Amino acid sequence: MIIQPELRTVDVTRYVIPLREGGSLPALVEADDDFLYVLKFRGAGQGTKVLIAELIAGEIARTLGLKVPEIVFANLDAAFGRTEPDEEIQDLLRASEGLNLGIHYLSGAITFDPIVNTIDSRLASQVVWLDAFVMNVDRTVRNTNMLMWHKELWLIDHGAALYVHHTGPGWPEQSRRPFTQIKDHVLLSRATELDAVDTDFRRLLTPERIASIVSLVPDEWLMNGLPEESTDAQRQIYTQFLEDRLASSEIFVNAAKDARKALV
């Protein structure tokens, strides 16, 4: 039985502190459920496509059994930024009224360090497979985007995934391309079980599961200034892209294996 994934919706009640990492200007905020979230703003530079990538890649990772902090829709009221003294932040808040994306803040978590933290080959292969599948360019030694929390590995920050959807109307045609940037992946040297992981993950990512994840993307994130295209059509483009990429997974798996051979 397919379990339809669901995302909670919270209202942002307090802007705690800006997080200056990266170009998306995320912030730590508190919501009406009294939890803290890392908020990704729809009004930031690359717009809602970053939020779409964050949601889709994060929920795919969760489906595959990898640990990802809870993702929520975070509603930002129009009046929220009026008392913010920083003009840059105030402009960002105004541009982000409505639904944004929040990621549960893992208090006390530490950044994954490949020298200090040891990850077994199975888990390393799973993360490498995921990032090759969703074309995530942002899991390098320089910026691992992984945390250690309660002695377990947690994956964060997937906004750079599916980067081809920034490249124009022809991006779905790139579904069968190898992911050459996998050569820079922080866990590539330990990813010795890619073939076995590929078999397991192809079984888990059914067309129904992919469609159910893409269906979570809100209408208002999909329009992106293209009113002539329906939101359902936009969802179908993402769904078909992921299905086509999965159907030819040997392309990105072999590319990862070749990159690992060159590395070691």
pLDDT tens, the chain, 264 aa long? 445 678 999 999 999 988 866 556 799 999 999 999 999 999 988 889 999 999 999 999 999 999 999 999 999 998 776 666 778 888 888 889 999 999 999 999 999 999 999 999 999 999 999 999 999 999 999 999 999 999 999 999 999 999 999 998 889 999 999 999 999 999 999 999 999 999 999 999 999 999 999 999 999 999 865 555 689 999 999 999 999 999 999 999 999 999 999 987
Q: What is the pLDDT of residue 21?
A: 63
Query: What is the extent of the structural domain holding 147?
Result: 110-263
Q: What is the pLDDT of residue 1?
A: 44
- Buried-exposed string 159-178: b where 16+ CB fall within 10 A, e elsewhere: bbbbbbbeeeeeeeeebeeb
Domain limit, last residue, from 46, 79, 104 = 104
Shared-domain flag, residues 116 and 202? yes
Shared-domain flag, residues 144 and 229? yes
Contacts of 38 (CB under 8 A, 6+ apart): 19, 26, 27, 28, 102, 103, 105, 156
- Taking a C-beta distance cutoff of 8 angstroms, is the pair 216, 59 a contact? yes
* Residue 4 domain flag: no
Q: What is the pLDDT of residue 82?
A: 67
Q: Cα(197)–Cα(4) distance, rounded to whole angstroms? A: 24
Shared-domain flag, residues 100 and 184? no
- Taking a C-beta distance cutoff of 8 angstroms, is the pair 111, 104 a contact? no
Shared-domain flag, residues 124 and 55? no
Shared-domain flag, residues 145 and 23? no
* Residue 2 domain flag: no
Q: Cα(25)–Cα(19) distance, rounded to whole angstroms? A: 6
CA-wise closest residue to 7 among 62, 80, 48, 65: 62
- Taking a C-beta distance cutoff of 8 angstroms, is the pair 102, 71 a contact? yes
Shared-domain flag, residues 245 and 158? yes
Q: Which 3 state secondary structure label does DSSP give 191?
A: coil
Q: What are phi and psi of 105, to 5 degrees?
A: -80, 125
* Residue 158 domain flag: yes
- Taking a C-beta distance cutoff of 8 angstroms, is the pair 37, 17 a contact? no
Query: What are 262's two structure tokens?
Result: 């060159």
Q: How many domains does the chain have?
A: 2
- Buried-exposed string 106-115: b where 16+ CB fall within 10 A, e elsewhere: beebeebeee
* Residue 176 domain flag: yes
Domain limit, last residue, from 44, 69, 104 = 104
- Taking a C-beta distance cutoff of 8 angstroms, is the pair 165, 53 a contact? yes
Domain limit, last residue, from 69, 104, 139 = 104
Query: What are 41's two structure tokens?
Result: 């703003």
Shared-domain flag, residues 64 and 136? no
Q: Cα(201)–Cα(191) distance, rounded to whole angstroms? A: 15
Query: What are 73's two structure tokens?
Result: 């829709």
